Structure formats: C-alpha cells, structure tokens
Amino acid sequence: MVVQPTLLGVSEAGTTHDPHQLVQRVWRDESARLVGALTRMTRDLSLAEDLAQDALVAALQQWPESGVPDNPAAWLMQTAKRRAVDHFRRADTMRRRTAELGQALEREEVDMPDLDAFVDHIDDDVLRLVFLTCHPALSPESRAALTLRLVGGLTVPEIARAFLTKEATVGQRISRAKKSLEGESFELPTGTERERRLDDVMGVLYLIFNEGYTATAGDDWARPDLCAEGIRLARMLTHLAPQEPEVHGLLALMELQASRLHARTDDEGRPVLLEDQDRARWDELMIRRGLAALDRAMAVAAEGRRLAGAYVVQAQIAACHARAASAEETDWRAIAQWYDVLARMGDNPVVQVNRAVAHGRAYTPEEGLAVLDDVADHRALAGSHLVPAVRGDLLARAGRHREAAAAFDRAASLTANEAERTVLTARAEDARSGR
C-alpha cells in the first residue's frame, strides 16, 4: 500500500506524487530522530549520519519502484539499523563491539516497528542530539551549521545559502564540529550543566531565526525559510523540554516576530519599517500561537515559582506590538519597562540600544539619546550600524535633522545588508529635507 502525500503533511494544494520529493520531505521531518537513535546505538555521530544517509539513498532507489511504505519513518529506521548491524559485523577490529551492539540492535524489532511504541525513547534521542550539536566546545557558527544539518535535516548547500556562505566553508565547519565531538558523551546533561547547555541550544535556535528575520548581509531584507526552520526547531524543543518556561518564551518570541514577516516588505520587495507596516498583513494565526506560547511560559514559570527569563521578557515586548491595532496605540511605556527588566538581566549592549528606542518613544527623544550615549562606546558595538541608526531616528524625532542625516549616512556605510542600506539612505535624505 502506498501512503498518500497528505499523510506526510503535504497540503492538497501542494500534493505531489513524486516519490523523490516525498523522500526528501520524510527526511526533513524524521532525520533528527533517525540520527539521534543511531547515535545512541552506535555511540558514533559520524557513523550514525552515514547510516542514516545510506537509508535515505536506499529509499531514493527503492520507493520510486516499490511505492512509499505505510510508515516511511519506520522503514528508514529499520533500514539504517540493518546497515548498522552489517557494519559492525564487517569490522574485524571491532569484534567485541560487534557482539554487544549487534545483539542490542537485533533485540529491537526489525519487522517494520511501530514508532508510536518508541516515542519516548525517540524523543529522548532527539533531545540528546540537540544538546550534542549545541555543545559549548563549538563556536556559535559551528553549532548553528551542525544543528541545521543534523536536527533540521538541511543539506550543506541549503545551509550555505541560508548564511550566504560558501558550501566548502559550511562543510568544513560541520566536519570540524563532528570531529570535535568525537568521544563526547551522548547522555543528556543534568543539573546546572543541563541549564547551561539548554541556554546554548536556545541561543543557536534564536541565531538561526534572527538570521532569517533580518539578514546580516546580502540583498534580502529577510529569509522566511530560515525563520520557519528556527520556529520548527523551537517547537520541537517545547515538546522535549515542556517544563522550561524559557523554551516556551523562545517559541512565543519567534512566532510573534515572524507574524510580521509579510508586512516587512512592500509589493516591490522594499523594506517597510514597523511603524509604517500594514497590520492587516500580520499573520493573526501566528500571533495567536505566539500569545498562547507566552501564556504557557508564564504558567510554567508560576508553577515552578520562577522569574521570567530573557526570552519570556522579549516575548512580552513582542506581544505589546502584536496587541496594538495601530502604531499609535502601541504601549511604549510597557515596552520601556520590559526593556528595563531585560537590561537588569545582564550586560547586553544590543538590549541597551533597543532600550534607547523604547525610552525615546515612551518618554522623549532626549531620554532615548541619554540611554544610547551610555552604551555607544561599548566595544561589542564597534563597527556596527545599530548605534548610528538609532541615533539618527532619535535625532530626527527631536527635530535635529542635520545631525540625524549624518547619523543615518554613517549607519548606511556600516551595514552589510543592501536592503537595510537602502532604508537608511532614504531616511538620511528625508532628514536632509526636514521630514
């Protein structure tokens, strides 16, 4: 019996009978579980990925002829486990491990196992994989690339396009990262180590989302596909760590921000600033989902008698925008107060820059400039366009148009994103015209 495309999550409008496309979709949805389970069994991340890829190749070869099986994920798992048994049986130098692992693998059902019976085990495997790809020994760039590869199921070319990086560079990052992880424990960390690693996991997912929401370089203002991948991974994390309020806060933040994606550019693809956006183009379903995730975050925090963390606070700020029917109705005082809370959580210069914006809107431009002056010389912002861009906005609101134009010109010269440079250049011209 051949499974229908809609059973794999393909909408009627996007239905396809091409088995190759179905294989790719199943791989994207199931690769994390597959690689995670195989890593648990073999204790070898590189081998696990090779075995998973072998199963994918087998599917590409067989499904077009035999049809897509009723349970594609189980088929891939069964095929990969058989490859694992064969691998260890062939490895003369690993006979002792052959006996141990071969017997363990054979004890699990090999006749089309019911994945529902393994759900808790498999979810643990995915969580282990997420924590492994976000190991603190790796750089943020390597964590992001490895997470997208092994947890997100993206190909090296897809990751390279996402971060506007050469394929060879991405491939090298992934290869070096996997080599760095050789010998690392695949067990879930506990206690303070788990909290620290969970922060790393969330940081990587937010990095992926942010690179999609506001591209740091290139011609595009945003890359929605990368935002969607960040949200998908964050949603997975909420199922894997449901008692962590920050995980729900991260998902809420992503969904509330992503709800504005369609309104961030006009019909010609030109960027539209938040206050000028047509809010009828905001995604109401995503807003509802984001607000629901925020409610869950606050409820989980209350149950555990825990204070709201940074992602929950940022989600509260995004919720203030989402609830406002117009730019004029935005509760900037509430936003400024939330930024005050966020600023007290740590020395984050970008938070202070955004806090300056909020205080400039909630109170006076001069108060915003005072906040900005306190952080303008922070070394982490050296060479960034953020400070002059915000300074230009605050100066323009204060009626200091000549100074504003100079600040916008400076910001335009510093940004690497072409769309953002266009916006800043236009604002400089408006300031010179006194608008």
If pLDDT is split at 50, 70 and 90, which confidence band does 37 have? confident
Question: Which of 20-34, 175-189, 272-286 is the most confident on average?
Answer: 272-286
Q: What is the pLDDT of residue 96?
A: 57
Residues 89-115, buried b or exposed e (16+ Cβ, 10 A)? eeeeeeeeebeebbeebeeeeeeebeb
- Residue 295's CB is within 10 A of a number of other CB atoms, namely 13
Encoded tokens for 120: 């808790």
Rounded to whole angstroms, how far apart are CA atoms 57 and 77? 13
Cβ atoms of residues 227 and 254 within 8 Å: yes
Q: What is the pLDDT of residue 12?
A: 32
Mean pLDDT lowest for which of 3-12, 84-93, 104-113, 134-143?
3-12
Rounded to whole angstroms, how far apart are CA atoms 427 and 404? 9
Strand-pair category, 416-417 with 217-218: parallel
Cβ atoms of residues 216 and 417 within 8 Å: yes
DSSP tag of 94: G
Rounded to whole angstroms, how far apart are CA atoms 432 and 28? 50
- The predicted-structure confidence for 54-81, as pLDDT tens digits, reads as follows 888 888 888 888 888 888 888 888 898 8
β-sheet bridge partners, residue 265: 271
Reduced to 3 states, what is the DSSP secondary structure of residue 417?
Answer: strand
- The predicted-structure confidence for 88-123, as pLDDT tens digits, reads as follows 777 654 555 555 666 666 655 444 344 333 333 445
DSSP tag of 329: G
Backbone angles phi, psi at 359, to 5 degrees: -65, -35
Nearest alpha carbon to residue 339 among 306, 382, 372: 372
Q: What is the pLDDT of residue 116?
A: 38
- The predicted-structure confidence for 179-189, as pLDDT tens digits, reads as follows 888 877 777 77
